[in-house]
Amino acid sequence: MKTIVFTGGGSAGHVTPNLALMHKLKQQGWDVKYIGSATGIEKEIIDREGVPFYPISSGKLRRYFDLKNIKDPFKVMKGVYESYRLLKRLKPAIVFSKGGFVSVPVVLGSRMNNIPVIIHESDMTPGLANKISIPFATKVCVTFPESLSHIKGGKSVLTGLPIREHISSGKATRALQLCDFHSQKPVILVMGGSLGSQVLNQAVRANLGRLLQQFQIVHLCGKGNVSVEHLHTRGYKQFEYLNEELPDVLAMTDLVISRAGATSIFEFLGLEKPMLLIPLSRQASRGDQILNAASFQKAGYADVIQEEDLTTEGLGDHVEALYKNRETYKAAMQSRNESDAVAAIVKLIESHSNSL
pLDDT, tens digit (0-9, with 9 covering 90-100), for 250-305: 999 999 999 998 989 999 999 999 999 999 887 767 788 999 999 999 999 999 99
3-state class of 247 per DSSP? helix
How far, in Å, CA of 302 to CA of 276, rounded?
6
Q: Please compute the mean of the pLDDT values over residues 48-73 and round it to a whole number.
A: 73
Say if residue 34 is in the same domain as residue 15.
yes
Domain of 102, CATH number, reads 3.40.50.2000
DSSP 6: E
Say if residue 215 is in the same domain as residue 324.
yes
Say if residue 183 is in the same domain as residue 311.
yes
Say if residue 243 is in the same domain as residue 213.
yes
Say if residue 16 is in the same domain as residue 117.
yes
Mean pLDDT check: name the lowest of 39-48, 226-235, 270-279.
39-48
Give the H/E segment covering residue 272: none
The pLDDT of residue 344 is 95
**Lateral strand order in the sheet of 53-56:** 53-56, 31-37, 3-7, 94-97, 117-121, 139-142, 156-158
The pLDDT of residue 39 is 82
CA angle 109, 96, 151 (to 5 degrees): 90
The pLDDT of residue 65 is 52
Say if residue 203 is in the same domain as residue 135.
no
Say if residue 149 is in the same domain as residue 122.
yes
Residue 70: pLDDT band with limits 50, 70, 90 = low
The pLDDT of residue 61 is 57
The number of domains in the chain is: 2
Say if residue 151 is in the same domain as residue 242.
no
The pLDDT of residue 121 is 93
Residue 319: pLDDT band with limits 50, 70, 90 = very high
Give the H/E segment covering residue 236: strand 236-239
The pLDDT of residue 67 is 53
The pLDDT of residue 72 is 67
Q: Global pTM?
A: 0.85
Inter-helix orientation angle 288-299/262-270, to 10° = 20
Inter-helix orientation angle 341-352/16-27, to 10° = 60
CA angle 187, 206, 234 (to 5 degrees): 45
Structural domain harbouring 276: 166-334
Say if residue 193 is in the same domain as residue 286.
yes
Residue 221: pLDDT band with limits 50, 70, 90 = very high
The pLDDT of residue 104 is 94
Mean pLDDT of the chain: 91
Say if residue 46 is in the same domain as residue 148.
yes
Residue 196: pLDDT band with limits 50, 70, 90 = low
Q: Please compute the mean of the pLDDT values over residues 305-329 and round it to a whole number.
A: 95
Spell out the residues 6+ positions from residue 259 whose beta carbon is closer than 8 angstroms to its own.
Answer: 191, 192, 193, 197, 200, 277, 278, 279, 280, 289
> Which is more confident, 72 or 99?
99
pLDDT in tens, 1-39: 899 999 998 887 889 899 999 999 999 999 999 999 988
Residue 150 has pLDDT above 90, yes or no: no
Say if residue 240 is in the same domain as residue 143.
no
Say if residue 304 is in the same domain as residue 269.
yes
